[in-house]
Chain A
Amino acid sequence: MTPLTTALLRRLSEAAGGPGNEGAVRDLIARALHPHVDALHIDAMGNLTAIKRGRGEGDLRVALTAHMDEVALFITEIDSNGLLHVAASGGVNARTLAGKGVLVGPEQLPGVIGWPPPHLQRHNNDESKRVPKIEDLVIDIGAADKEAAAARVKIGQQALFATRFGFLGRDQAVAEEAPLPQKGRIKGKAFDDRLGCAAAMALLMGPALPCDLHAIFTVQEEVGVRGALAAAEMLAVDLLLVLEGTVCDDLPGPVDEPRFPTTRLGDGPALTQRDGSYVVQAAVLQHLLRTAAAHGIPYQFKHPNAGGTDASGFGRYRATPTGILSTPCRYIHGPVAVAELGDFHALIQLLRAVLADEAALARLVGRS
């Protein structure tokens, strides 16, 4: 039985937390974890660490980490017409922006990203095929002029997709305060990496494990693993497990263009062998595979060499054994992502199995 409720996952997904602006997410996580952990602290960058002491004899320390931030639009200018000009904070998919709703700033003011009507666009040249540049897009909050807009919005605030969390392909309503269903598709924004945050929280909110469990909720992953970099020097754990919501492109492509999905929805948590910025040590990977096999937990490999995670930031100074486990999520870095709860729960199950076997962990990190 998961300690996570639908309401908690909804709040995590809907919370606004662009890079450098993770306060709302951090408060939400801290409040939820407070009754379940022994210590909470925040570092100079805003990374949140929660510590839950183990019930075992040993002094083994394992850290889970997930990033709190999400890609965002960043307000760069308020023009004389009261429109907001934006730039990307992190790798926002520009193809998805036009015609979407957003929420702006701490007041969560509703706005829309406009786009000229087709009647007025030129079809005779490449202009209509061109991906709009983010600099050319504006957010309209309905303000009449600059003064009116500036009264509510400030430069440097962020705009995030106004996407509500929910279930896909499910006819029955889900009770908000009941435990999260075991199976089914969910949709929402910021699954990268609120699903990672939620998985770490599930472990901390559950019964104590043999080892000391640290959970580091980082900031600014999307603009260059900045939170992890700042936290990396002080990291003193025996094993680090990075939890991600990762890319999934398992939709069929055009006939003449074979597609090679990085992950597939529903095939279980994705284990990284190596990505674009980190090579997982063979012993750590083998340990995860053995544990999954022993407990009959499904898993898949993530397409090697693609993407990057906080593992590269945490690995900057110290050679800490590190594993990377992800819940596959379609359409990330756009307005709405889709994930499979079965994959998410299997990831938590695998984590719990790994952390429950203290002797095997000690052998893995050379502490037995």
Chain B
Amino acid sequence: MPLLSFLRTLSTAHGPTGGEGAVAEIAAQLLAPLCDEVTIDPLFNVIGRKQGQGPEPRPQLMLMAHLDEVYALVAAVEGPFLRLTQTHADYRLLVGQEVIVLGRRPLAGVIGDRPPHLMAAEERQRMPRLHDLVVDLGRDAAEVAAWVSPGDVVLVDRPFVELQGRRVTGKALDNRAGVSVMLATLQHLQDQPHACDLLAVASVGEELNLLGAHTASFRLRPDLAIVLDVTFAEQPGADKDKTFPLGGGPVLGIGPNLHPRLGEALAATAARLELAHGLEPLPANSGTDAWAVQVAAGGRPTALISLPIRNMHSPVEVADLADLEGAARWLAAFIPEVDAAFLAGLAYQLPTFDEAPA
């Protein structure tokens, strides 16, 4: 299956933080033919295992990409309308947006706005506040009360669309793009031997509290980890310092959250492949699953590969397939290099000593 199909299938699936069950089933089905074994843990982390061919004990390499997507919640039902709360997206983008309310059954809705004719001049100059927004389900109050309760999830309703060239747009490319790269990497590795055991984890809860990254690291206790997530692509209005050209290749994170020698090894592989890639300086928290993975259950060398997208956390995220395919090629070339000697080489070493110990 081409990477495009993975991304299309995953982008349109429903998987808000804390409600990843549906997208987890889909991810598990996509992982199954590529792994020896796939399980879904009680928190809905999807864990695929693919055994390596190296001698035991084989290094355990965890690939991780988060499954969950940004969402809003129903705060209150007011007659036929819904008020909203707790959104990690930019709520201003919800004005004029079509949505799906995951009530007792999924319900389509619209978030509209007052007609500008009736607004005072001052009101026209500012955006509404989150609690000014109203979801219109087009149903009467009794019907809405029967189907929807406070706390139900509201997702934007956006199709996945191919644009010009190799670019695509849709919702939840953050981070279904990362999950797709993980799948494509495993596909490359079907006919390529690798020494280490692979643990492919589609994690939950990244957008809220890194719940899946933390708990899966405790469950699996891998020796090293590579996290896949998205980063900011260049676009008007975005600070050029913090963005990467769309189509300019995947991006390698660098900073205290990430292991320097693991990053260097990945960079060396990219150089060997002549694969263009960016370098993302992250002075402290990377803002990804890597932050939890690095220190959970004793800690481990951790790397981060990011895929530039435009309009992050909006209904119209844009990615370039070339970046995603590049990342998958990169990982597929790198993973066979990971063996016991490689892992040993990552360990921090004592200096050489002049005298014998006491």
Q: Which residues of A pack against B, CB within 8 Å?
A: 18-21, 23, 26-27, 30-31, 34-38, 40-46, 74-77, 85, 87-90, 135, 155-156, 219-220, 223-224, 226, 229-231, 233-234
Which residues from B are CB-within-8-Å of A37?
Answer: 357-358
Residue B294 lies at the interface, judged by CB distance under 8 Å to chain A: yes
- Contacting B347 at CB < 8 Å: which of A18, A35, A44, A135? A44
A23 smallest CB distance to B (angstroms): 7
* A220 near B351: Cβ-Cβ < 8 Å: no
Which residues from B are CB-within-8-Å of A219?
Answer: 256
Task: Decide yes or no: A88 and B294 within 8 Å by CB, A19-B256, A27-B351, A156-B255 being known contacts.
Answer: no
Of B241, B279, B281, B295, most buried by chain A (CB within 10 Å of CB) is B295
Which residues from A are CB-within-8-Å of B47?
Answer: none
Which residues from A are CB-within-8-Å of B283?
Answer: 74, 76, 87-89, 223
Q: Which of B81-140 contact A (CB under 8 A)?
A: none
Q: Which of B224-267 contact A (CB under 8 A)?
A: 241, 254-258, 260
B228 smallest CB distance to A (angstroms): 19
* A44 near B299: Cβ-Cβ < 8 Å: yes
Of B241, B298, B356, most buried by chain A (CB within 10 Å of CB) is B298
In the complex the two chains form, what is the Cα distance from A27 to B354 in whole Å?
13
A88 smallest CB distance to B (angstroms): 6
In the complex the two chains form, what is the Cα distance from A223 to B283 in whole Å?
9
- Contacting B357 at CB < 8 Å: which of A21, A38, A77, A220? A38
* A223 near B285: Cβ-Cβ < 8 Å: yes
* B257 near A20: Cβ-Cβ < 8 Å: yes
* A89 near B295: Cβ-Cβ < 8 Å: no
The SS class assigned to the B binding surface is loop
* B284 near A19: Cβ-Cβ < 8 Å: yes
* B357 near A35: Cβ-Cβ < 8 Å: yes
In the complex the two chains form, what is the Cα distance from A330 to B254 in whole Å?
32
Task: Decide yes or no: A156 and B254 within 8 Å by CB, A43-B299, A88-B283, A135-B241 being known contacts.
Answer: yes
- The 3 tightest CB contacts between A and B, nearest first, are A20-B256, A230-B299, A156-B254
Which residues from B are CB-within-8-Å of A233?
Answer: 297-298
Which residues from A are CB-within-8-Å of B350?
Answer: 27, 30, 40-42
In the complex the two chains form, what is the Cα distance from A23 to B355 in whole Å?
20
Q: Which of B316-358 contact A (CB under 8 A)?
A: 347-351, 353-358
Return 14 A-B CB contacts under 8 Å, by A number: A20-B260, A35-B356, A35-B357, A37-B358, A42-B350, A74-B255, A74-B281, A76-B281, A135-B241, A156-B255, A223-B256, A224-B284, A231-B298, A234-B298
In the complex the two chains form, what is the Cα distance from A224 to B300 in whole Å?
17
* A42 near B349: Cβ-Cβ < 8 Å: yes
The SS class assigned to the A binding surface is mixed
B244 smallest CB distance to A (angstroms): 12
Of B296, B300, B351, most buried by chain A (CB within 10 Å of CB) is B351
* A89 near B357: Cβ-Cβ < 8 Å: no
Which residues from B are CB-within-8-Å of A43?
Answer: 298-299, 348
Q: Which residues of B pack against A, CB within 8 Å?
A: 241, 254-258, 260, 279, 281, 283-285, 294-301, 347-351, 353-358
- Contacting A230 at CB < 8 Å: which of B241, B254, B294, B353? B294
Of B279, B299, B356, B358, most buried by chain A (CB within 10 Å of CB) is B299
Which residues from B are CB-within-8-Å of A89?
Answer: 255-256, 283-284
Which residues from B are CB-within-8-Å of A30?
Answer: 350-351, 353
- Contacting A46 at CB < 8 Å: which of B258, B296, B348, B357? B348
Task: Decide yes or no: A23 and B348 within 8 Å by CB, A155-B279, A156-B279 being known contacts.
Answer: yes
* B254 near A155: Cβ-Cβ < 8 Å: yes
Which residues from A are CB-within-8-Å of B281?
Answer: 74-77, 87, 155-156
B126 smallest CB distance to A (angstroms): 24
Which residues from A are CB-within-8-Å of B285?
Answer: 223-224
Which residues from B are CB-within-8-Å of A231?
Answer: 298-299
A27 smallest CB distance to B (angstroms): 4
Of A30, A34, A42, most buried by chain B (CB within 10 Å of CB) is A34
In the complex the two chains form, what is the Cα distance from A23 to B260 in whole Å?
11
Which residues from B are CB-within-8-Å of A220?
Answer: 256
* B260 near A38: Cβ-Cβ < 8 Å: no
Of B279, B281, B296, B356, most buried by chain A (CB within 10 Å of CB) is B281
Residue in B closest to A27 when the chains form the complex, CB atoms = B351
Residue in B closest to A89 when the chains form the complex, CB atoms = B283
Task: Decide yes or no: A230 and B260 within 8 Å by CB, A34-B353, A40-B350, A155-B254 being known contacts.
Answer: no
Residue in A closest to B357 when the chains form the complex, CB atoms = A34
In the complex the two chains form, what is the Cα distance from A34 to B354 in whole Å?
9
In the complex the two chains form, what is the Cα distance from A36 to B284 in whole Å?
34
In the complex the two chains form, what is the Cα distance from A307 to B279 in whole Å?
33
- Contacting A45 at CB < 8 Å: which of B279, B294, B349? B294
In the complex the two chains form, what is the Cα distance from A234 to B296 in whole Å?
11
In the complex the two chains form, what is the Cα distance from A89 to B258 in whole Å?
13
Task: Decide yes or no: A31 and B351 within 8 Å by CB, A85-B241, A226-B294 being known contacts.
Answer: yes
In the complex the two chains form, what is the Cα distance from A214 to B296 in whole Å?
22
Which residues from B are CB-within-8-Å of A46?
Answer: 348
Which residues from B are CB-within-8-Å of A42?
Answer: 347-350
In the complex the two chains form, what is the Cα distance from A155 to B263 in whole Å?
13
In the complex the two chains form, what is the Cα distance from A74 to B351 in whole Å?
25
Beyond A90-B284, A155-B254, 8 additional pairs, beta carbon < 8 A = A18-B256, A20-B257, A44-B298, A87-B281, A156-B260, A156-B281, A223-B256, A223-B283
A226 smallest CB distance to B (angstroms): 5
Residue in A closest to B218 when the chains form the complex, CB atoms = A233
In the complex the two chains form, what is the Cα distance from A74 to B285 in whole Å?
13
Of A37, A42, A85, A156, most buried by chain B (CB within 10 Å of CB) is A156
Of B258, B294, B354, most buried by chain A (CB within 10 Å of CB) is B294
Which residues from A are CB-within-8-Å of B357?
Answer: 34-35, 37-38
In the complex the two chains form, what is the Cα distance from A23 to B294 in whole Å?
18
Which residues from B are CB-within-8-Å of A45?
Answer: 294-295, 299
* B241 near A76: Cβ-Cβ < 8 Å: yes
B233 smallest CB distance to A (angstroms): 17
Which residues from A are CB-within-8-Å of B356?
Answer: 35
Which residues from B are CB-within-8-Å of A155?
Answer: 254, 279, 281
Of A41, A74, A231, most buried by chain B (CB within 10 Å of CB) is A74
